[in-house]
Amino acid sequence: MDYFCKACSYHGKASAAGGECPACGSFDLVVPRPAGEQAEESAPARWRMVVLVGLWGYFLLLILWKLLS
């Protein structure tokens, strides 16, 4: 596991025995994740879903209008 200390920016493969930073003793350690994983985690914005549904509805309405006229 990779560790990154937010207090002193230590970056190493392992934390100390107690789980603290081996360089400065801070417990403010994070496990950095790949960028792709973070993007997957964030849910799509609500306005995007509204626009998506709205445009699909408009699209289907246009098709129906075209078919019925």
User: Where do contacts with Zn ion occur on this chain (CB under 5 A)?
Assistant: 5, 7-8, 10, 21, 23-24, 26
Please report how close the Cβ of residue 18 comes to Zn ion at its closest, in angstroms: 13
Beta bridge partners of 29: 5
Which residue number, 11 or 48, has a Cβ lying nearer to Zn ion?
A: 11
Please report how close the Cβ of residue 40 comes to Zn ion at its closest, in angstroms: 29
The answer to whether 29 and 20 have CB atoms below 8 angstroms apart is: yes
* Strand intervals (E) in the chain: 3-5, 11-12, 29-30
With tokens 């792709």, the residue in question is 36
Please report how close the Cβ of residue 8 comes to Zn ion at its closest, in angstroms: 3
